[in-house]
């Protein structure tokens, strides 16, 4: 719609990006922990490839949060967060943030829209955003929402410690369940276990997915839960579950769903700060009803 030519890769890896990137490429965009497929990006290798081609590397780190990683340490240039999620923590504010490292060496002939902001040096990109998004479009966060985010940010570390602990315990429980297939990066069985250890300090984030065997079983499992809430958000203090294929991915093609790790029997779980044993008991009683 904006005249921007976009090329997609199934997996955000150096190997898959290399054949389609060139000197005309303006940016490489990725989600650090994919939602809901939970693939982890090797930030340094992708960032190096982008920089070799004069492209800026923009990383959505919402699901990893600033508590688990500072992507700038690994070569990312710009980081974005949906602050409605973990930074806020209470599911009460729609908002987002854009953070510029100031490290990218902008080629003002290639990025012509930034040329007039060259005088701002490392703040050129932020200055352009203030004019474009804030002043001209009006994307300005309401004071109350900003306040709620600020309050939530104070407990981000505590919440992420608890959420990651709970997610791992819950994932380990699912590994022992017959007829349930679990996906979580901090499990040793995950193909992203090593990257999880290297980049995220061994914490896999607070989202995990399970496959229940069929759409009918997935619905029955969700409906049988007493503690977890059926809702679309992530990053809440409460544990939230959703059937992605019939909700947030309902308009996606079959190929898009498969690429995103969304199948008819997939359930996405955003793990909250409840007691891990209570969460396990809730899922256990629902699974037993299957």
> What does the pLDDT look like over 218-263, one tens digit per residue?
999 999 999 999 999 999 999 999 999 999 999 999 999 999 999 9
Report residue 53's pLDDT band, with 50, 70 and 90 as the boundaries. very high
Q: Mind listing the pLDDT tens digit for each residue in 126-155?
A: 999 998 888 888 888 899 999 999 999 999
How many helices (H) does the chain have, and how many strands (E)?
10, 9
pLDDT at 140: 84
pLDDT at 219: 98
pLDDT at 60: 98
pLDDT at 1: 81
Q: What percent of the chain has pLDDT over 90?
A: 94
As a whole number, mean pLDDT of residues 7-31 equals 96
- What does 209-254 look like in DSSP terms, one character per residue? EEE-SSHHHHHHHHHT-SSSEE-S--S-SS-EEE-GGGTTTTTS-H
Task: Give, as one character, the DSSP assignment of residue 130.
Answer: I
Domains and CATH numbers, the chain: 14-137 (3.40.640.10), 156-288 (3.90.1150.10)
As a whole number, mean pLDDT of residues 2-6 equals 90
Mean pLDDT of the chain: 96
Please write down the long-range contacts of 141-144, taking CB distance under 8 Å and 24 or more positions apart: 141/95, 144/93
Q: Mind listing the pLDDT tens digit for each residue in 185-220?
A: 999 999 999 999 999 999 999 999 999 999 999 999
Report residue 2's pLDDT band, with 50, 70 and 90 as the boundaries. confident
pLDDT at 182: 98
Using CA atoms, how far apart are residues 223 and 282, in angstroms rounded to an integer? 11
Report residue 27's pLDDT band, with 50, 70 and 90 as the boundaries. very high
Task: Give, as one character, the DSSP assignment of residue 122.
Answer: G
């Amino acid at each position: 719609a904006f005249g921007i030519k976009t090329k997609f890769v199934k997996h955000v890896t150096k190997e898959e990006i290399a054949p389609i990137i060139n000197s005309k490429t303006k940016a490489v965009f990725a989600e650090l922990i994919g939602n809901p497929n939970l693939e982890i990006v090797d930030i340094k290798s992708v960032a190096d490839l982008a920089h070799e081609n004069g492209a800026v590397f923009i990383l959505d780190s919402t699901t990893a949060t600033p508590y688990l990683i500072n992507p700038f340490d690994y070569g990312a240039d710009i980081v974005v967060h949906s602050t409605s999620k973990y930074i806020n923590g209470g599911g009460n504010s729609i908002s987002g943030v854009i953070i510029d490292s100031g490290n990218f060496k902008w080629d003002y002939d290639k990025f012509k829209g930034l040329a007039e902001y060259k005088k701002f040096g490392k703040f050129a990109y932020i200055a352009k955003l203030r004019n474009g998004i804030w002043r001209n479009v009006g994307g300005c966060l309401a004071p109350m929402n900003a306040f709620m985010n600020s309050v939530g940010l104070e407990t981000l570390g505590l919440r992420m410690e608890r959420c990651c602990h709970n997610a791992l315990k819950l994932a380990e429980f699912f590994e022992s369940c017959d007829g349930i297939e679990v996906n979580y990066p901090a499990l040793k069985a995950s193909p992203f276990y090593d990257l999880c250890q290297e980049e995220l300090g061994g914490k896999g984030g607070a989202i995990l997915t399970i496959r229940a065997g069929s759409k009918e079983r997935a619905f029955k499992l969700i409906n049988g839960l007493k503690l977890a809430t059926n809702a679309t958000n992530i990053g809440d203090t409460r544990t939230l579950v959703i059937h992605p294929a019939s909700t947030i991915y309902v308009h996606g093609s079959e190929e898009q769903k498969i690429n995103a790790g969304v199948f008819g029997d997939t359930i996405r779980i955003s793990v909250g700060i409840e007691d891990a044993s209570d969460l396990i008991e809730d899922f256990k009683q629902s699974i037993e009803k299957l």
